[in-house]
Structure 1
Amino acid sequence: PEGVTKTTGFCSHRRSSQGPDVAYRVSKDAQLSAPTKQLYQGDAFPEDFSILATVKPKKGSQSFLLSVYNEQGIQQLGLEVGRSPVFLYEDHTGKPSPEDYPLFRGVHLADGKWHRVAISVHKQTITLILDCKKKTTQRLLRDPHPIIDTKGIIVFGTRILDEEVFEGDIQQLMIVADHRAAYDYCEHYSPDCEVSVPDQPQNQDPNRSNTLQRLLGDPKVFPGQREFMIPPESFESAFRSPSSGDLLKRCPN
């Protein structure tokens, strides 16, 4: 779609691969959104989960990488990238309140460098693991049994009516229905450049090449785990859904 091109990813050369990792360069002209159920096909959004991303935001930028809205257009989840990013989360009871959103002070994701960002949401805590090393844990004051509506839409790179939009490079973006996945991100999902990409359940299909780019493939369901991944076709061709037209009309041009 407009505003999206392929570029070199996190590794310019990776062991046992024939070339560099592949990423997508996203400009402010890009508009990507889809019904949540089209991307996350589980019966319900998981209570505990991980968000995994390999990104290089434009230096000095501040924007939301991912926003999840319910059927009424209320934002339920949002991952900000920039300086001291906030994690927006609002369950079916309206918890936590905006003043209690987790804020990761001292973290800078828009310094012009690649970052591997792994977020673990477990019960009433959220842990950010940055570049496989730095761990920061905050309280997430949500309902003991929170519900996230999957009848709305997911917007990539901004929030509805926001002027700030994501600009930069992105190689991987996943939501995994396991809060422990964040702790294994650099081992099982986005390893160092001198390490081959390990075999994984979503990688064992013989029709899938063993590269990080293929981890951006269609959602796969296997025992004990569900994943949401931004699929390549969402970058190759912008998608829209008539059923979510009212919400999509509110997205910034």
Structure 2
Amino acid sequence: MYNSPTAHPVFDYLFSPTVLGFGIDPDYQIDIINELDFANATYGITQVAGLHNNSKAFLFRDAGRAVHAPDHINEKVVQLFRSKSEFTFLASIQQKSSTSGVIFSIHESEHSYFELESSGLREEIRYHYRYKGKPRSESFPYRLADGQWHKIALSISATHLQLHVDCNRIYERVIDPPQMDLTPSSGVWLGQHSHKHGLFKGTIQDVKLIFAPNGYITQCPNLNRTCPTCSDFLSLVQGIMDLQELLAKMTLKLNYAESRLTQLEGCHCERTCSANGVVYRDKELWLEPENCRNCGCKNGVAECRRIFCPPANCSEDSLPVHVEGTCCKKCRPKCTYMDQSLSEGQRLLAKRCRECKNGVMVKVTENCSALNCTLREQILPDNRCCNVCKGYDFCAEGLICGENSECKNRNTRAECECKSGFKQITSVKMKLCKTCQCLFMVICYISYALYPQPFHLLDAS
């Protein structure tokens, strides 16, 4: 007992209507009688009434005749045999009692690739074919030559043979796989083996070659297919073998990946930090003098803190001032001039320009450029001896500002101002920049974390 083929999704395609025969692709079937076109052939054959009126039927008389296919049909048959591993031969016949003859033949010279013969004397059906260049024959005891109409279907699927007569499966065998590689000069004959041999006597109708699984259903639509053909199984087996090979390859790749993961889990992968185009190792420290910050790499994150400057604690004769290239103020001798205390580098314009230098006010000789604005439009910048026009771009002189801050022009100087969303975290006015922190509860840096508290990593001097 066979299970229904629809019981497993693998068979969904194999048992589709186009494969079952109810809608076979016309490219995979040949209607022999229509292709032969007997309209002009009168000697030895006569059109008569057949088993039904849906197609033409011809009576083959006991006379010399040559009913064979033209070259283009021979070529089509050869191509289909070469490209397929299964086919079905169909025919409806009414054979004269106790006669013998070939119903259909494909051969070259004496080499029969497919030949179906009915022997009324021995009451048997014979199938002739070739296997690996050698002739083979299968005999099936059955009486076709009884003067009655019979529908015959011979199906070949690799090594599997089925013979249906009148829509009944009367034989099923395992045979040597027929040779499907027909020679180009092979000829197709109907009702005879050749000009004078194997002449069939009787009426033939509905002769077809179907190159699809279980083509007999075209002849007997009521026969439901109960199991896949050998070719179906071969295709399934090949598919399973391909899947097994793919599974083996995937298993090897998976095992390799698991091995690599195990190795990676056992190794120490050091996390690094990147800042200003430089890569630092974990726990490595560095100084950013332009931003007056000490930085360190911690678990892949660069953490930076403003350099802590201790109180200057200057003596009475000195004042804390910024020195070029340093972040913290240093004590320098102060100057006293006209009852004013001036720090190192501070200038005063009184008749002549003077500058505090090493505790002494010295004259500054400076050639001032001519201005293209009126005197009322001129201003004196901080610590300068020469006027400039109002609207002068002090930032263009190259003031360097720290991270999250930008240069802004004031009336008499340039200053660094925090960008939107940041605020100043020190009240000390620095010459180079102001350090800013985020105003909101969000991360405002990409690779740095800023802290306002003191942080001693490097010498602040």
Which category of TM-score, normalised to the shorter sequence, fits these structures?
A: 0.5 to 0.7
1:129–1:183 contact (8 Å) kept in structure 2? no
> Paired residue for 1:137?
172
- State the alpha-carbon separation in 2 of the partners of residues 150 and 65 from structure 1: 22
Instruction: Note the 1:41-80 alignment, pairs <5 A.
Output: 41=76, 43-45=79-81, 46-70=84-108, 73-80=110-117
> Paired residue for 1:108?
143
> Paired residue for 2:50?
9
Seen in structure 2, the aligned counterparts of structure 1 residues 40 and 178 have a Cα distance that, compared at 3 Å, is farther
Instruction: Note the 1:73-222 alignment, pairs <5 A.
Output: 73-82=110-119, 83-91=123-131, 93-95=132-134, 97-98=135-136, 101-105=137-141, 107-142=142-177, 146-160=180-194, 163-187=197-221
Offset, 1:28: 2.1
TM-score normalised over the length of structure 1: 0.61
Offset, 1:35: 4.5
Offset, 1:44: 3.9
- State the alpha-carbon separation in 2 of the partners of residues 53 and 35 from structure 1: 20
- State the alpha-carbon separation in 1 of the partners of residues 103 and 92 from structure 2: 11
Seen in structure 2, the aligned counterparts of structure 1 residues 179 and 104 have a Cα distance that, compared at 3 Å, is farther
Offset, 1:56: 0.5
Offset, 1:146: 3.8
The CA deviation string for residues 16-40 of structure 1, in whole angstroms up to 9 with x for no partner, is xxx6764111112232113564256
2:74–2:187 contact (8 Å) kept in structure 1? no
Amino acid at match of 1:56: Q
Offset, 1:66: 1.1
Secondary structure at 1:34 match in 2:
coil
- State the alpha-carbon separation in 1 of the partners of residues 184 and 206 from structure 2: 21
> Paired residue for 2:323?
none
- Count of residue pairs brought into register by the alignment: 174
> Paired residue for 1:209?
none
Secondary structure at 1:112 match in 2:
coil
- State the alpha-carbon separation in 2 of the partners of residues 51 and 20 from structure 1: 19
Secondary structure at 2:68 match in 1:
strand
Structure 1 unaligned spans of 5+: 12-18, 189-253
Amino acid at match of 1:60: S
2:102–2:118 contact (8 Å) kept in structure 1? yes
Root mean square deviation, CA, Å: 2.5
1:61–1:110 contact (8 Å) kept in structure 2? yes
> Paired residue for 2:317?
none
Residue identity over aligned pairs, in percent, reads: 20
Seen in structure 2, the aligned counterparts of structure 1 residues 179 and 168 have a Cα distance that, compared at 3 Å, is same
Seen in structure 2, the aligned counterparts of structure 1 residues 114 and 35 have a Cα distance that, compared at 3 Å, is same
- State the alpha-carbon separation in 2 of the partners of residues 170 and 40 from structure 1: 23
- State the alpha-carbon separation in 2 of the partners of residues 154 and 172 from structure 1: 16
TM-score normalised over the length of structure 2: 0.35
Secondary structure at 1:38 match in 2:
helix
Structure 2 unaligned spans of 5+: 1-41, 223-461
Offset, 1:126: 1.1
Q: 1:27 aligns with which of 54, 61, 70?
A: 61
1:63–1:81 contact (8 Å) kept in structure 2? yes
Offset, 1:6: 1.5
Offset, 1:134: 3.5
Amino acid at match of 1:131: D
1:37–1:151 contact (8 Å) kept in structure 2? no
- State the alpha-carbon separation in 1 of the partners of residues 101 and 205 from structure 2: 17
Offset, 1:79: 0.6
